[in-house]
Structure 1
Amino acid sequence: MITESTVQAEFHGGRSRVAPLTWGQRGTWDGIHEWLPEVKPFFVLTRWLDVPLLLSLGDVLEQLSELLLRHESLRTLFHASPRGDATQEVLASGALDVTVFDRPADDPVDFTSIVTDCLVRAGATAFDHDKELPVRISLALHEGIPVLVVLGVSHMAADHTGVELLVAELTAMLHARAGGKPVPAPKPAVQPVDLATRQNSPDGQLLNIEAMRHLREHVARMPSHGPAARAVPLSPRFVRGEIESDALPVALRAAARRLRTTTSVVLLSITTGLLRHLCPEPVHRLDVMQSNRLAPDLFDAVTTLNQAVKTVVDLDVPDFAAVLRQSAATMTAAKSHARYDGRLAAEVLRDVVLPPGCQINDMWSTLPRSRTKAGPPTPTTLTWPERTPHEDMALYLDTGGTPDRMRLSLMADTAFLPLDDLRAFLFTVERIAAELAEEDVDLDRIGEVFTVLASDGEEGGGTV
């Protein structure tokens, strides 16, 4: 029988500090409280990693304590003010409860089930940020020997890139300990309190001014309504479809090289071509999520930095070359205007009713290239991992996965994209990327591929 117990990872000797929230933290704070008591999947980021053999429970706890000490975002409490704002309080010392699941040799439950249960637990309830550190950790043991670490990190403490940095760092620390080598030193990176100070400086205010100017310009061009309904919606209305593809990373990189641009620009251009086919309006609302990791001291920062830039894309374009130019300009402007105070943006938008549109969050393009040779390609798979009754946008297009196997995820309003169209949208991106790797593509070709795939039935398998 599996036994469950609680141990503690203690930390001592850090800095104790209190500060306002950073812009990224404030946007996350507002988003979390807008949806409470519902816990959206992106509020808690979950990961798991192997523990090298020969490490004891004490060894793993020691490395977890070091991780907490290195990153102030993991030992921060967030306190609401009467005005609805919040402050962050970094603790100099304390302890984090770690849940331990010890499986005896004769227990039939496998570790996959244990990890799944830990991941569900980590994201099932909202964090009490006023009293609870923004990370939940579980350890899976076999006969007392640590086998797996499971992390659930609040989006207040880290974004997706920050969580991947944590996993990579903890993995390196555990392997060094197992090999009897010195633990790798922490990489230089700004801490959230220092970033908040920077953002409240005169230079930070200049960023705000430019971002608000850009926002006003694009809000003035927003369409009056979202995309027209094309079908009777399902209930729940919003469905997420995902493909995982070995072919898509190869195709996007080859297309970007051939077209002398970036993979993000290629992805946005294909998406724009699809929107042009699906929407009769000449312009469409597009929110571009940015990682905001351009400065060297932000590359390895463990905090939440990503912010969305509200923009407009023209769909009345003559050819794919014009779409590429527009996409490149959109991405450049988004990078320049993605650092801002969300409360100021809310003031700009106070009397504005924004139409539902499309949000694109390309996290895959920020992943470092793999240093190992990819194995034999595996087929593209299709899954339907999520359904929800309400979302703010008609489409949410996200990328992630690994450098060699990309996850392309689309949460769609089924009144706009019924299931066959949602599936076709994902596979059209893969197909057109492959064609762009070899030759130029006419805009009408994107619509043709989509139409064929939408009528072909289930490609890649999977059920809702």
Structure 2
Amino acid sequence: MITESQAVVEFHGGTARTGPLCWGQQGTWDSLAQWYPEVKPFFFLTRWLPVPLLLELGDVLDVVGELLVRHESLRTHVSQRAGGEPTQRVLASGTLPVDVYDRPADDPVQFEDIVATSWERGIARPLDHSVELPLRLSVALHEGIPVVIAFTLSHLAADYTATEALVRELAAMLDAKTSGAPLPPVRRAAQPLDLALAERSPEGQLRNVDAIRHLRSVLDRMPAPIPPQAVAESPRFIGADLESDLLADAVRRTARRCRTSTSVVLLAITTALVRSFWPEPRLRLDIMQSNRTTPDVAASITTLNQVVHTVADLTGDTLADLLDSATRTMAVARAHSRYDNRTAREVLRTSAQPLPPGVQFNDMWSTLPKGPPPTALTATTLTWPATSDAESMSLYLDVRGTPTRIHLGAMADTTILPRATLETFLHTFEHLAIQWSEADVALPGR
């Protein structure tokens, strides 16, 4: 029988300070206030990693304590007084509770089931950011020997890119602890409070003014909503995930051949497929930007993603034509991707016309470090993990995964993209990428 207990991570030697949220944190904080705890999974990121042999539980806890000292977002409380602005308070020292599961040798429960239980418990209880650290941690033992670390991390503390970086850093620190080598050096990185103060500088405020001016110009060009193209299914919104090694390889080969980024290639394929069912020549396209454009910000452990509203042109005869459009669209999005969310929300609220449903594109895969090529390709899979009764967009497209395998997730409005058509959309995405990796592809006329 599995024995459950609690341990404690202690951290000391950090710097205590207090200040405002950065724009990325502010957007997540406002979303938390609007949706949490009713919609919990979006606001947690779940990860696990193996523990190298020869380490004891105390070694693991020491390494986690060092990780908390390195990254202020992991040892921060956030609170907001009525009528005031939210404030982050970075702790210099403190403790983090850890759930410990010790499995005896004869117990039939698998470690993946323990990880799943840890995640379920981690997201089940609302997190009070004003008094809790944004990390919930579990360690699974086998006969007293640490085997697996599982954690749930608040989206307020980290986005997808930062979470993947944390996993890599923690794994490297555990490997160093095992071999007796010094821990990997701390990477130079702007902390969330550093970013918040920079955003409130004159230069930061000019960036915000420019981004808001761009938003107003986009709203002036926003196309009208399109009518339903099919009868709504129940639930109205359906989610599907395609996972593919072939897609990852094809996108990288296309980017090299076309001398562009993988993100632009993915966006061009997206618009090429959307135009096959979108009746208008222009499309509301929301692009999620990671905002990691300089080395110090690239290494920041915080949430930096912000959405940029754009209008995409769907005209063109080949994928190369749409690649040119995607390149321009992505460049504009990067240039206006950091802004005060509350100012932008007020502009949207007072706009003459509400935003029409469109497509949201979120490429998290291209931010991953490149890994060695796979020794063998894994089969492509398609699953249907989620449904929803209400969303604000016709199609959400998320690209994530591992360096060698793309996880292409879609959530579609069935009045625009029915279930059967969504399945075709995802498989065609892979097929089109493979074709394009060899040569340009002609597109059907509209």
TM-score (norm 2): 0.97
Report the counterpart of residue 367 of structure 1 in structure 2: 368
Distance 2:37 2:231 in 1: 29
- 1:22, 1:192 within 8 Å by CA — same for their partners in 2? yes
Map residues 72-221 of structure 1 onto 2, 5 A cutoff.
72-83=72-83, 85-221=85-221
State the secondary structure of the residue aligned to 1:186.
Answer: coil
Report the counterpart of residue 456 of structure 1 in structure 2: none
Distance 2:193 2:246 in 1: 41
- 1:39, 1:124 within 8 Å by CA — same for their partners in 2? no
- 1:246, 1:379 within 8 Å by CA — same for their partners in 2? yes
- 1:50, 1:149 within 8 Å by CA — same for their partners in 2? yes
- 1:138, 1:150 within 8 Å by CA — same for their partners in 2? yes
State the secondary structure of the residue aligned to 2:5.
Answer: strand
Q: 1:404-458 deviations in whole A, cap 9, x for unaligned?
A: 111111111122111111111111111111111111111218x9xxxxxxxxxxx
Q: 1:243-289 deviations in whole A, cap 9, x for unaligned?
A: 11010011111112222222111111111112211111121110000
For 1:365, the aligned partner's letter is S
Map residues 412-423 of structure 1 onto 2, 5 A cutoff.
412-423=412-423
- 2:318, 2:440 within 8 Å by CA — same for their partners in 1? no
State the secondary structure of the residue aligned to 1:410.
Answer: strand
State the secondary structure of the residue aligned to 1:343.
Answer: helix
Distance 1:126 1:290 in 2: 27
Cα deviation for residue 203 of structure 1 reads 0.7
Cα deviation for residue 337 of structure 1 reads 0.7
Moved more, 60-69 or 121-130: 121-130
- 2:158, 2:301 within 8 Å by CA — same for their partners in 1? yes
State the secondary structure of the residue aligned to 2:141.
Answer: strand
Distance 1:332 1:177 in 2: 42
State the secondary structure of the residue aligned to 1:152.
Answer: strand
Report the counterpart of residue 455 of structure 1 in structure 2: none
Distance 2:437 2:318 in 1: 17
Cα deviation for residue 22 of structure 1 reads 0.3
Report the counterpart of residue 461 of structure 1 in structure 2: none
Is it true that 1:287 corresponds to 2:286 in the alignment?
yes
Map residues 59-78 of structure 1 onto 2, 5 A cutoff.
59-78=59-78
Is it true that 1:382 corresponds to 2:393 in the alignment?
no
Report the counterpart of residue 432 of structure 1 in structure 2: 432
State the secondary structure of the residue aligned to 1:345.
Answer: helix
Report the counterpart of residue 241 of structure 1 in structure 2: 240
- 1:228, 1:279 within 8 Å by CA — same for their partners in 2? no
Cα deviation for residue 126 of structure 1 reads 2.8
Distance 2:72 2:28 in 1: 17
For 1:196, the aligned partner's letter is A
State the secondary structure of the residue aligned to 1:359.
Answer: strand
- 1:44, 1:155 within 8 Å by CA — same for their partners in 2? yes
RMSD (Å) for aligned C-alpha atoms: 1.4
Distance 1:252 1:229 in 2: 32
- 1:361, 1:399 within 8 Å by CA — same for their partners in 2? yes
For 1:5, the aligned partner's letter is S
Distance 1:147 1:160 in 2: 24
- 1:249, 1:405 within 8 Å by CA — same for their partners in 2? yes
Report the counterpart of residue 321 of structure 2 in structure 1: 322
- 1:39, 1:126 within 8 Å by CA — same for their partners in 2? no
Distance 1:228 1:249 in 2: 34
Identity rate, percent? 55
Distance 1:192 1:419 in 2: 41
Distance 2:287 2:22 in 1: 20
Map residues 49-68 of structure 1 onto 2, 5 A cutoff.
49-68=49-68
Report runs of 4+ in structure 1 exceeding 6 Å deviation. Answer: none
- 2:98, 2:136 within 8 Å by CA — same for their partners in 1? yes
- 1:412, 1:422 within 8 Å by CA — same for their partners in 2? yes
Cα deviation for residue 84 of structure 1 reads 6.0
Gaps of 5+ in 2: none
State the secondary structure of the residue aligned to 2:275.
Answer: helix
Moved more, 117-126 or 195-204: 117-126
Report the counterpart of residue 303 of structure 1 in structure 2: 302
Distance 2:254 2:118 in 1: 40
